[in-house]
């Protein structure tokens, strides 16, 4: 899901009021002394007093010069309407030009922001960052749709390689290309996978970081219980070391759907006979590629499995699994699960 994070608005540094007021008075030096003082005081008051904005807003400041910026600020209620405000704003930019350039960006303006604070934000405010959360276990198809539906991103993308994007929360700017966000997701997976592979447990039956990624994707899909991930990983590692078929249902589902919308039904005996290199009921060893994007916890579990001689696991009816080291013990667990299901 996508959301946004507002950057903290920097506060303008304290100014020496007397010195800055002199700059205002100098701008009106063509007037008489009383007129100069009156106009300068009014200008200073309007420059520093709270503005009309009722609630904080994220506002896009487009390129196009000071006139366009002024129009946007008045249309959105940051600055008061009218020609006096416009002239005061232009003059304020000129008098404070040493403070920096005005920037085009999506910026956050708090409620009742003054003209002085507005200029500070235009010069020094950090652009609004939007957030996109990629949940663990999504397929490349799912991640593509997530990006396509994320607000404020631009340009189309094609589905990435399966498992190449790391699930986590990412930030992005308005009008950023989707391909750039996806590239960050993939770079994060590449660096994370390399680090975990380097620190993996010795002796695992894995030949490459890609093997670790594939194993982690199976762990991710097999259990949603965090504490079970290392134990599920150990079962799969034990079976690999013994040359046993992995026989994981998620690989069959992936063979049937290719990671597209959910199967929407229980697997059948016929499904388990589906000819596919991803079908671990028919093929020994890991499937040829990941079946989803595993999260950090699943990657760590694949690299550091629990210590166990378990070779089997089956759902326990409460969201977790029962694990077994022997087929007879596993069959008892299967019978228990079926009895629970039939009693519901």
Q: Which residues pair with 132 in a beta bridge?
A: 2, 170
Provide the pLDDT for residue 139.
Answer: 97
CA 163 to CA 292: how far, in whole Å?
Answer: 5
Q: How much is the pTM? A: 0.84
Supply the angle between the helices 178-198 and 140-149 in degrees, to the nearest 10: 140
Largest CA distance in the chain: 104
CA 295 to CA 3: how far, in whole Å?
Answer: 20
CA 76 to CA 126: how far, in whole Å?
Answer: 19
Composition of the chain by helix, strand, coil, percent to 5: 45, 10, 45
Print pLDDT tens along the chain (344 aa).
Answer: 555 555 555 555 544 444 555 565 555 555 556 666 777 788 899 999 999 999 999 999 999 899 999 999 999 999 999 999 999 999 999 989 999 999 999 999 999 999 999 999 999 999 999 999 999 999 999 999 999 999 999 999 999 999 999 999 999 999 999 999 999 999 999 999 999 999 999 999 999 999 999 999 999 999 989 999 999 999 999 999 999 999 999 999 999 999 998 888 999 999 999 999 999 999 999 999 999 999 999 999 999 999 999 999 988 878 889 899 999 899 898 888 887 777 65
Which of 149, 103, 116, 102 minimizes the C-alpha distance to 14?
116
Q: Give me the count of residues in the chain.
A: 344
Block residue for tokens 């916890």: 297
CA 221 to CA 206: how far, in whole Å?
Answer: 19
Pull the structure tokens for residue 227: 């504490």
Show the DSSP H helices in the chain as ranges.
Answer: 17-27, 33-48, 66-75, 83-95, 115-124, 140-149, 178-198, 209-222, 229-242, 249-257, 296-303, 327-342
Taken in order 184, 190, 191, 192, is the CA torsion positive or negative? positive
């Amino acid at each position: 899901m996508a959301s946004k994070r507002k950057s903290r608005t920097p506060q303008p540094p304290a100014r020496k009021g007397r010195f800055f007021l002199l700059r205002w008075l100098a701008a009106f030096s063509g007037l008489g002394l009383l007129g100069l003082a009156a106009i300068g005081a009014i200008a200073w008051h309007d420059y520093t007093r709270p503005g009309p904005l009722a609630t904080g807003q994220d506002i896009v400041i487009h390129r196009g010069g000071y006139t366009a910026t002024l129009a946007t600020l008045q249309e959105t209620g940051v600055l008061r309407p009218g020609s006096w405000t416009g002239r005061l704003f232009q003059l304020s930019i000129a008098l404070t030009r040493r403070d920096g350039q005005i920037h085009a960006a999506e910026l956050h303006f708090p409620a009742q922001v003054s003209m002085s604070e507005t200029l500070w934000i235009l010069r020094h405010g950090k652009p609004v960052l939007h957030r996109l959360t990629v949940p663990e276990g999504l397929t490349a198809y799912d991640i593509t749709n997530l990006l396509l539906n994320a607000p404020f991103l631009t340009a189309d993308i094609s589905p990435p390689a399966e498992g190449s994007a790391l699930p986590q929360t990412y930030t992005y700017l308005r009008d950023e290309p989707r391909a750039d966000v996806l590239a960050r997701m993939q770079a994060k997976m590449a660096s994370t996978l390399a680090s975990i592979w380097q620190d993996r447990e010795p002796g695992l039956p894995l030949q490459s970081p890609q093997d670790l990624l594939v194993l982690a994707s199976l762990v991710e899909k097999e259990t949603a219980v965090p504490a079970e991930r290392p134990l599920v990983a150990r079962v799969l590692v034990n079976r690999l070391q013994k040359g046993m078929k992995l026989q994981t249902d998620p690989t069959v589902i992936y063979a049937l759907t290719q990671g597209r919308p959910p199967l929407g039904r229980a697997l059948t005996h016929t499904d388990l006979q589906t000819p596919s290199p991803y079908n671990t009921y028919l093929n020994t060893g890991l499937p040829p590629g990941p079946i989803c994007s595993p999260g950090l916890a699943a990657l760590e579990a694949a690299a550091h499995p629990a210590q166990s001689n378990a070779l089997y696991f089956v759902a326990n009816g409460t969201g977790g699994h029962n694990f077994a080291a022997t087929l007879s013990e596993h069959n008892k667990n299967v019978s228990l699960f079926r009895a629970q299901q039939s009693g519901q």
